[in-house]
Structures are given as structure tokens and as C-alpha cells.
Amino acid sequence: MRRPLRAATRGIAALLAAAALTACASVDSMVEQVGDAVPQMPGPAQTDFVPSEAPIEQSGTGNLSPDGFDAVERLAVRIRNVGCSSLSTGSGFAIDATTLITNKHVVADSADLQVSTYDGRDVDVTAASTAALADLAVVRTAEELPSFPELAGSDPVPGDAVTVVGYPQGGALTLTTGQVIGSTTDPLNANLGEVLVTDAAVEPGSSGSAVLDEAGRVVGVVYAKNASGQSFIVPVSTLRTLLADEAAFTPTAGCEP
């Protein structure tokens, strides 16, 4: 069973007992070796789950300027999935006045999607659709969103600084920083092609978080982490390719009666 970073709202003890913490996919198959930074491990990828750590703390403005932080604060949203059989939370970010990007697994099996902004405002959702070839989803809103960022023109490279902005554990808006350490084929087989790997800390509920460069441009979307604390990112090149293809996304299915 493979599940990325979606935070269930059930009790932690019950989640651990069920070994189904919806977020932290433990993937001991490491990224392709980039210099000496990340050694490559032999053997097939493991997909058991690891418990969540304590919520990560907000780290000031990350790699961003104060003005950049103000913009980031406004673009990130918290997503609550009232599911067919469970409750969970995730993160997302605006790409235009009425369009959000998040992960496919954040909106999957949903009876109702509830979106709230940094200032606690609830935003009605009108539609959601998911990509077949990546762990990405598009959510449309009835009201305009406070702010949206620019998508970067190219993917970051190893050594580039990144800031992740989202709502880990469904809690407060949080920024964490790190750098790109390499790329790898997706260990969860949720995405076609390569994904990026960073050392920026993420937790359950971080799924769908925007990954930003130092200029505040989106360079990727968080979707999973491994047991070593590395985060996996759908690169902006994949996001751009899918957004340009009208057939790439299909409407989400509701709960079966």
C-alpha cells in the first residue's frame, strides 16, 4: 500500500496501530547519487510507513525576503478533505485568481473539499480534477484567492535553495527551508518521469505545498517524504506540461452510494 503526505484527523494511536499514517511514505530507496551528497542504496523501494515527527516550527521568512514572505503567506491554502470514509488535511497554492494546485491524493475519495486561506477565510470549491500521470490536482474556487505566484520557467538543480510553504498537520502556516539534493524516478510510482528530492522538512498535511525558489517562484509541489526525512517534489516542468494539456486532468469522482 502506497500513501504519501496526507494527514488524517483520526487519533495518532489508531493510525499507528493500523500502520496507515496517510503521509510519510518510508522509501529507503534513495535518490540517484549526486556527487557524494546522497549515496545510492541497493534493492527495491520499500513502501512501509513511518510515524510523524513533532510538527515543524515556522522558520522566519525562509529563503525569502520579508516582501516575498508576505506574498507567500497569501498564496498558500489549507485543504480539508471530508472523505467518503475518513477526514484528512493537505495544502495547496493558487496559480490564478480562482485556481489551486494540490496533490491528487489530497482530493481523492472526497465527499466535500473545504479550503481556507491564511487569514481564516473559507473559500467555496466549485470543481476538482486530477492528473493521470502525476500526483497533481486542480481545484477551482467560487471566490477569488488572495494572491498567486509565478511558476518558474525551469526546474531547480542540485544545490539550489528552496522554501516549502504549507500547513503540516493541518496546523499553522509553516515555512521550512532546504536545498535540492538530486532527482530520482518516483519511488511511489505516482508520477511519470523523474521527481526532485530535497532536504526541506515536511510532514503529514504538507502534501500539495508549494516549493519556491529564492525569488518566490514555484519550482515544484511536495507530495511525499521518506524515512530519512527527505522530501519528494513534483517538478514545475511536469506541472507546466500537464497544465498545458486540457486532457491531462479529469474530474474527481464522488463517493459511491
Bridge partners of 116, per DSSP, are 78, 122
Is 135 a residue of the active site? yes
**Calpha distance 178→199 (Å, rounded):** 5
Amino acid 164 reads: V
The active-site residue out of 207, 209, 231, 237 is: 207
The active-site residue out of 52, 105, 186, 213 is: 105
Which of 205, 122, 215 has its CA nearest to residue 161?
A: 215
The active-site residue out of 52, 88, 91, 135 is: 135
Is 105 a residue of the active site? yes
User: Please, what's the largest Cα pairwise distance for the chain?
Assistant: 53
CB under 8 A, 24+ apart: contacts of 70-74: 71/147, 71/149, 71/216, 72/149, 72/163, 72/165, 72/175, 72/210, 72/212, 72/216, 73/118, 73/165, 73/173, 74/117, 74/118, 74/146, 74/147
**Calpha distance 179→200 (Å, rounded):** 7
- Beta carbons of 91 and 172 less than 8 angstroms apart: no
Collapsing DSSP to helix, strand or coil, 224 comes out as strand
Q: Which residues have a catalytic role annotated?
A: 105, 135, 207
